[in-house]
Amino acid sequence: MTTIQETDVLIVGAGPAGLSSAIALRRQGVAHVTVVDREPEPGGMPRLCHHTGFGIWDFHRLYNGPAYARRYVQQARDAGVHLRAQTTIIGWEDDLTLTYTSPAGLGALRGRAVLLATGVRERPRSARLVPGYRPRGIFTTGSLQRFVDERHLPVGRRAVIVGAEGVSLSAFLTLHKAGVQVAAFLTDLPRHQMYFPYAPAKWLFVDALHRTPIRTQVRISRILGRKRVEGVEITHLSTGQREVIACDTVVFTGDWIPEHEVARQGDLVMDPGTRGPQVDVAFRTSRPGVFAAGNLLRGAETAATSALEGRQAARQVLAFLHGQPWPAHRLPVLVEPPLLWVLPNSLAPADLHTPAKVTFRVTQFVENATVEVRQGKRLLLTQPFRHLLPNETLHLSGAWLTRVEPHGEPVVLKLSG
C-alpha cells in the first residue's frame, strides 16, 4: 500500500464541527492538523443552505449558509489547518490510520488522535418505507438544496413537504425561491415543530407561508404517479381516512440518521438511540484515540451547536495528546420511549467527578412530565418539565453525574409514572 502520511490530529469532515475543532487545536498549539472532506469544497452542509440564520451563536452576526461556511474555511486556512477536499475516507488500516481515495490517488493518513465529524443525512423515502411507484420528483431537503442552489436545476411546480420541523422550513424557503408552490406540510404529530423560526419566517414570507396548510396527525401512505409524481396519499392517524393531495414533487425532510459509515467501518460501538457512535462526556468513542463531534453524534442541530461542540471536543483531544489516559471501562446511558436519545450516551469513571451538560430528545409532545434518571434501583434525578417538545433538543441538569456508581448497572432515562 501507499506510504502513510502522519499528522497530529486527523479530522474527517470539514463542516462546522470539524473545522471549528481544527481551528481551536491549531490555536492551542497543535502543530499539524489535517481535515479531509469528500466534497469538492470544504465547509460542510451550510455550503448548501443558501438562506440566512447562521452564525449568531458562534460569530455573533447573521450569515447565510455559504458565507458562514466560507468564514470557517478562511479561519481554518489562516490558522494553518491542512485542508484536503475531495478526499474520501474509505476505511481503516489500523487503530488511528484511515485510508482515502482522491483524484490525486489513494493513500493513508495517521493521526495521534482522530476526530470524526461526518455529519448527517435525512432518511429518504425508501428508508421510511413509503409505498407506491418510484417516479421522478422525490427529494430530501439536502438533494433539493443541491438542485436549486448548487446546480440550478429545475424542481417542479407544486410540492408536498413531509415533516414540519426546522429543516422543513428550510425546504419551504428553498422551494419558494425556486418558484415551486407548496401544497402542504405533513406531520404525524398534533402540532408543527418549526417553533421559533416559524413566526419570523411567516412574517418575512407572509404570503406564501400563511397560505401553506400544515396538516397534522397525518402520515404519507403512498406516492402516486409512475414517471413523475402525480400526488401523495395521506392517511389521517385518528380516523384512518385517506386523502390524495395533487403535487409533482415530494420533499422528505428531517428524520435524521448520522452519516456513520466511517464510524461503523471502524467497529465503533454505536448508540441505539442516536444511531451515531457512543460517546462519553469528553466526546471519546469506544476506540482509543478516536473522538466524534457534530451532527454525527445525533442528527441535526444548528450549525452553531455543532461548531461549539467541535471546539469543546478540541479541548478533549488536546488533553489526550498531552497524555490523559483513555477510559478502559464505560457505562452506557440508555433511554426509554418516548425519549429518543440522550447525550452523552456513555460515562467513563473520570466523567463522574463534575456535573456536565446533558441533552436529550423526545418523539412526542408531552405536558407536565417528569424525567427521571435511574441506575438500577437507585433514583439519581427527577426533573419536572412543563412541556417536552419533539424535534427540539432539551436540557437536563447534569448534577446527577456525580452520584453514578462507576461500575454499576447502565443508567436509564425515562418519564416517571
Partner 1 sequence: MPTTYDVAIIGAGAVGTAIARELSRYRLEVVLLEAKADVGMGTTKANTAIWHTGFDAKPGTLEARLLRRSYALLEEFVPQAGIPTERLGGLLVAWTEEQRQTLPSLLERAHANGVIDVRIISAEEVYRFEPRLNQGAFGGLFVPGESLICPFTLPIAYATEALLNGVTLKLNFPVGDVRQEEDRHVLSGPRGQQVAARYLVNAAGLYSDEIDHMLGHHDFTVTPRRGELIVYDKFARRLINHIILPVPTPITKGVLISPTVYGNVLLGPTAEDLDDKTNTATSEHGLQTLLEKGRAILPDLLNEEVTATYAGLRAATEHKDYQIRLHAAQRYVCVGGIRSTGVSASLGIAEYVAELLAEAGLPLQAKTAFQTFRMPNIGEAGPRPYRQPERVAQNSDYGRIVCHCEKVTLGEILDAIHSPVPARTLDALRRRTRATQGRCQGFNCRAAVVDILARETGQDPRFLLALDGNDPPEPLTLTPPTHSSQEDQA
Ligand X SMILES: Cc1cc2nc3c(=O)[nH]c(=O)nc-3n(C[C@H](O)[C@H](O)[C@H](O)COP(=O)(O)OP(=O)(O)OC[C@H]3O[C@@H](n4cnc5c(N)ncnc54)[C@H](O)[C@@H]3O)c2cc1C
Residues in the site for partner 1, rule: CB under 8 A?
A: 2, 38, 86, 88, 90, 101-106, 121-127, 129, 131-137, 139-140, 142-143, 146-147, 150-151, 153-154, 156, 221-222, 226-228, 248, 257, 261, 264, 272
- Give the residue with the Cβ less far from partner 1, 56 or 106: 106
What is the CB neighbour count within 10 angstroms for residue 94? 9
Strand-pair category, 105-116 with 290-292: parallel
What is the amino acid identity at position 277? P
Is-contact 160 248, C-beta < 8 A?
no
Q: What is the secondary structure of 198-259 as a DSSP string? A: HHHHHHHTHHHHHTS-EE-SEEEEEEE-SSB--EEEEEETTT--EEEEE-SEEEE---EEE-
Whole-number minimum distance, CB 142 to ligand X, in Å? 5
- C-alpha 336, offset from chain centre: 21
* C-alpha cell, 334: 440508555
Partner touching 13 among ligand X, partner 1, none, CB below 5 to 8 Å by kind: ligand X
If contact means CB under 5 to 8 A according to the sort of partner, which of ligand X, partner 1, none does residue 105 touch?
A: partner 1
The distance of closest approach from Cβ of residue 352 to partner 1 in the complex, given in angstroms and rounded to an integer, is 30
Minimum distance between the CB of residue 292 and partner 1, rounded to whole angstroms?
17
Using CB distances below 5 to 8 A depending on partner kind, what does residue 255 bind out of partner 1, ligand X, none? none
ω into residue 42 within 30 of 0, thus cis?
no
The neighbouring-strand residues paired with 242 are 235
Nearer to partner 1, 132 or 289 (CB): 132
Positions in the binding site for ligand X (CB under 6 A): 12-18, 36-39, 44-46, 49, 53-54, 88-89, 117-119, 141-142, 145, 167, 170, 259, 261-262, 294-295, 300-304, 306
To partner 1, the closest distance from the beta carbon of 154 in angstroms equals 5
The one of partner 1, ligand X, none whose footprint includes residue 20, by CB under 5 to 8 A per kind, is none
Closest CA to 302 of 175, 165, 114, 145: 165
- Cα–Cα distance, 159 to 249 (Å, whole number): 4
CB nearer to ligand X: pick between 7 and 375: 7
Of 248 and 301, CB closest to ligand X: 301
With CB under 5 to 8 Å by kind, the binding choice for 295 among partner 1, ligand X, none is ligand X
Closer to partner 1 by Cβ: residue 60 or 151 = 151
Closer to partner 1 by Cβ: residue 154 or 408: 154
Cβ distance to partner 1 smaller for residue 37 or 351: 37
DSSP 261-291: HHHHHTTPPBPTTT-SB---TT-B-SSTTEE
Q: Among partner 1, ligand X, none, what does residue 271 contact (CB within 5–8 Å per kind)?
A: none
How far is C-alpha 47 from the chain's CA centre?
Answer: 15
Look at residue 244 and give the partner it binds from ligand X, partner 1, none, a contact being a CB closer than 5 to 8 Å depending on partner kind: none
Residues 6+ apart with CB under 8 A from 145: 48, 49, 50, 170, 174
